[in-house]
């Protein structure tokens, strides 16, 4: 069974509703995970997604702030949302696919939107950066709890960190910039490796190949200049390693009007 999971920080699901429907119609992922939906649950455009073939939706969100959602072709066995740092801020949602998903039944998908962290990579000077580091610490503790029994699991989302040297356009110039500072990159890589997750895209596109999913709104001529970062991630549990088939970044979506500064990232498994 071919199974495609996609993640995309859409930066307002209602503003980019047509773009999301276009992705669903043209690429037809089995599951699409969205971040920064900026939409209260009662305003979420569920009917439009159901009409596109995605009637099963898990979501949590607020007006103009954060928000995550999972759109699926298959029903869910379970949905849940976690709050970290004692904040109910709509940064996580998880689903387990039901029996109708065939070989993908029982697959757990966790969708995260990690705090961006502000502009200064110093927790003493910047409370937003301190919050980001605290969020990562709690994310690690969450990940440690099930690492021994983890099976058929995928973690996706805008983790707001480009961990590897080749995940940014210039490692040297971005060392002092939030998203690529050493404390962030080392923390995220330790979290991933020491709690048993596979960086699935980098298995197929290993360094030194560049891999970007985000281009700043401030960068004019983003396509030609290509000053990107890999802020969006798809991790899998160890037992899914042999099923990893392909990965793709839908770069052209970055140019759709009005654009999100992120592009969709898709992973295909052969289950």
Q: Render pLDDT for 223-262 as a digit per residue (tens, 0 to 9).
A: 889 999 999 999 999 999 999 999 999 999 999 999 999 9
The span from the CA of 232 to the CA of 149, in Å, is: 25
**Cβ-based neighbour number of residue 156 at 10 Å:** 27
Q: What is the pLDDT of residues 129-173, one digit of tens each?
A: 999 999 999 999 999 999 999 999 999 999 999 999 999 999 999
Question: Residue 182, exposed/middle/buried by CB under 10 A (0-12, 13-18, 19+)?
Answer: exposed
Q: How does residue 218 score in pLDDT terms, banded at 50, 70 and 90?
A: confident
**Cβ-based neighbour number of residue 102 at 10 Å:** 11
Domain ranges for the chain: 2-270
Q: What is the pLDDT of residues 77-109, one digit of tens each?
A: 999 999 999 999 999 999 999 999 999 999 999
Q: What is the pLDDT of residues 35-78, one digit of tens each?
A: 999 999 999 999 999 999 999 999 999 998 999 999 999 999 99
Give the up-direction half-sphere exposure of residue 100: CA atoms within 13 A in the CB hemisphere. 8
What does the pLDDT read at residue 268?
Answer: 98
Give the up-direction half-sphere exposure of residue 87: CA atoms within 13 A in the CB hemisphere. 17
Sign of the C-alpha dihedral, residues 215, 218, 223, 225? negative
Per-residue pLDDT, averaged over 184-208, amounts to: 98
Place of tokens 């979420």: 44
Copy the structure tokens of residue 106.
Answer: 């029982």
Place of tokens 């047509």: 18
Copy the structure tokens of residue 21.
Answer: 């429907």
Q: How does residue 30 score in pLDDT terms, banded at 50, 70 and 90?
A: very high
In CATH, what class is 2-270? alpha beta
């Amino acid at each position: 069974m071919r199974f495609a999971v996609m993640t995309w920080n859409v930066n307002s699901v209602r503003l980019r509703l047509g773009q999301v429907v276009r992705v669903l119609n043209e690429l037809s992922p089995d599951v699409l995970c969205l971040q920064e939906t900026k939409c209260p649950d009662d305003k979420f455009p569920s009917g439009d997604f159901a009409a596109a073939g995605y009637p099963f939706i898990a979501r949590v969100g607020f007006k103009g702030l954060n928000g995550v959602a999972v759109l699926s072709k298959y029903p869910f066995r379970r949905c849940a949302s976690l709050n970290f740092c004692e904040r109910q801020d709509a940064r996580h949602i998880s689903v387990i696919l039901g029996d109708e998903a065939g070989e993908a039944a029982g697959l757990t998908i966790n969708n995260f939107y990690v705090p961006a962290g502000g502009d200064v990579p110093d927790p003493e000077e910047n409370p937003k950066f301190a919050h980001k580091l605290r969020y990562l610490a709690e994310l690690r503790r969450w990940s440690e709890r099930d690492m021994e029994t983890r099976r058929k699991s995928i973690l996706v989302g805008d983790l707001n960190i480009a961990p590897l040297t080749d995940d940014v356009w210039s490692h040297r110039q971005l060392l002092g910039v939030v998203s690529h500072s050493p404390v962030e990159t080392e923390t995220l890589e330790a979290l991933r490796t020491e709690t048993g997750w596979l960086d699935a895209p980098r298995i197929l596109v290993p360094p030194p190949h560049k891999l970007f999913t985000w281009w700043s709104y401030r960068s004019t001529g983003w396509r030609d200049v290509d000053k990107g970062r890999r802020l969006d991630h798809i991790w899998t549990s160890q037992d899914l390693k042999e099923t990893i088939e392909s990965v793709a970044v839908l770069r052209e979506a970055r140019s759709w009007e009005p654009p999100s500064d992120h592009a969709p990232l898709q992973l295909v498994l052969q289950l």
